[in-house]
């Protein structure tokens, strides 16, 4: 039985800490005025983080990097996005390619 | 009444195709929520636990990590620290949001809670403030509904569905984010920073705790510090 009162306390701590991370950004952003150069860096930071997230969620499973089906699906989605195909088609195609490859027992 | 009117104007500002895409992204999060709820219940958590966690934390990867560590016998304190490490990226997300997208007052408290990878990337991909705000709220509320609802369904279903990977759902998340950051990558400095950051993340993933490799990618931010020279010449 993994659940005990301490786990609920831990969950609430995680929720509170996560909220603080989420809340601090908008508060700082409204209180301070950043020079354009700094605003540019902040915007870059978000895109860089999202790009890193794409890389790890496409290529890594836990601490292991490998597999073909998922990266291929994401790649097809990326190519379709580059060609300005409708967003819905991009997302559906990515999942479909990965699903079909797995059906053919590609890892 | 005002809220309904307000919502209607929010819907109108976004194009249909993007809305369908958001709906699909929310749906996929709901299905992943089903597997999350099922994993929690089958590893011994009571049904309410994943639902409560989904609504309060609202950040999938940190929750999977949290319940996984607890179920494996890890200490709750360590699970909290690791979860917070994974969620630290929300701080730079908030700093990057233009001030008028997340309005002050009570709305800021709710909007902060709705901050997630998808709502942030959708907002940043929109050309003006009204559309940024619409995208952010619609996607955020969609996730707030779908993620806990999925967890509840999965918890009730138990171990009926455990392999959502078979449907290729795991490639939807990276595809959504990639499609939305692609226009920003047309700028050379941005492309250089993002690619370097992604390389740092992949190189460190095998031996660093989850969450840290993504944060390390921020080292590459300074590769985009100088504005495009082309613009100056024009």
Size of interface A-B (CB pairs under 8 A): 294
A107 assigned to some structural domain: no
A45 assigned to some structural domain: no
Q: Which of B31, B169, B188, B190 is nearest to B124 (CA)?
A: B190
Contact call for residues A6 and B80 (beta carbons, < 8 A)? no
A25 assigned to some structural domain: yes
A88 assigned to some structural domain: no
DSSP assignment letter at B166: G
Q: A40 to chain B: which residues are within 8 Å by CB?
A: 224-225, 227
Reduced to 3 states (helix: H, G, I; strand: E, B; else coil), residue A64 is strand
Q: Which residue of A has its CA nearest to B47?
A: A3
CA–CA separation, A49 and A47 (whole Å): 5
* Residue among B185, B198, B206 whose CB faces A55 most closely: B198
- Residue by residue, pLDDT tens for chain B (234 residues) are 445 555 566 666 677 877 887 888 898 899 889 889 988 998 889 999 999 999 999 999 999 999 998 998 889 999 999 999 999 999 999 999 988 899 888 899 999 999 999 999 999 998 899 999 999 999 999 999 999 999 999 999 876 665 677 788 889 889 999 998 999 999 999 999 999 999 999 999 999 998 999 999 999 999 987 765 554 443
Q: Do A12 and B57 touch (CB under 8 A)?
A: no
Nearest CA of chain B to the CA of A3: how many Å? 6
Q: How many helices (H) and strands (E) does chain B have?
A: 13, 0
State phi, psi for A61 to the nearest 5 degrees. Answer: -120, 105
* Residue among A24, A88, A98 whose CB faces B17 most closely: A88
Identify the bridge partners of residue A61 per DSSP, sorted by sequence position.
A64
Q: A49 to chain B: which residues are within 8 Å by CB?
A: 89, 92-93, 197, 214-215, 217-218
State phi, psi for A60 to the nearest 5 degrees. Answer: -110, 145
A96 assigned to some structural domain: no
Percentages of chain B per state (helix, strand, coil), in multiples of 5: 80, 0, 20
Domain of A11 in residue numbering reads as 1-32
A50 assigned to some structural domain: no
């Amino acid at each position: 039985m993994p659940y005990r009162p301490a786990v609920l306390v831990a969950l609430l701590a995680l929720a509170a800490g996560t909220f603080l991370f989420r809340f601090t950004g908008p508060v700082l952003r409204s209180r301070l005025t950043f020079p354009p150069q700094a605003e540019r860096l902040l915007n870059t930071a978000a895109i860089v983080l999202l790009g890193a997230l794409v890389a790890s969620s496409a290529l890594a499973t836990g601490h292991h990097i490998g597999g073909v089906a998922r990266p291929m699906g994401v790649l097809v989605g990326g190519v379709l996005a580059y060609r300005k195909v409708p967003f819905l088609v991009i997302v559906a195609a990515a999942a479909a390619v990965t699903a079909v490859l797995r059906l053919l027992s590609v890892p | 009444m005002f809220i309904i009117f307000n919502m209607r104007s929010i819907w109108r500002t976004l194009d249909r195709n993007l809305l369908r895409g958001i709906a699909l992204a929310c749906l996929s999060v709901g299905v992943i929520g089903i597997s999350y709820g099922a994993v929690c219940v089958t590893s011994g958590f009571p049904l309410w636990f994943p639902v409560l966690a989904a609504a309060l934390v609202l950040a999938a990867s940190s929750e999977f990590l949290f319940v996984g560590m607890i179920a494996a016998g890890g200490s709750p304190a360590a699970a909290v620290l690791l979860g917070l490490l994974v969620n630290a990226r929300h701080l730079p997300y908030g700093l990057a949001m233009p001030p008028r997208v997340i309005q002050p007052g009570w709305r800021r408290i709710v909007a902060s809670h709705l901050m997630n990878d998808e709502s942030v990337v959708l907002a940043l991909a929109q050309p003006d403030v009204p559309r940024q705000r619409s995208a952010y709220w619609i996607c955020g509320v969609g996730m707030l509904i779908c993620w806990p609802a999925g967890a509840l369904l999965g918890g009730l279903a138990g171990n009926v569905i455990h392999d959502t990977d078979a449907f290729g759902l795991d490639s939807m998340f990276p595809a959504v984010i990639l499609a939305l950051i692609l226009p920003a990558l047309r700028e050379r400095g941005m492309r250089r920073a993002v690619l370097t950051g992604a390389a740092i993340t992949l190189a460190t993933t095998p031996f660093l705790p989850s969450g840290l490799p993504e944060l390390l990618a921020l080292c590459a931010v300074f590769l985009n510090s100088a504005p495009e020279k082309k613009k100056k010449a024009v």
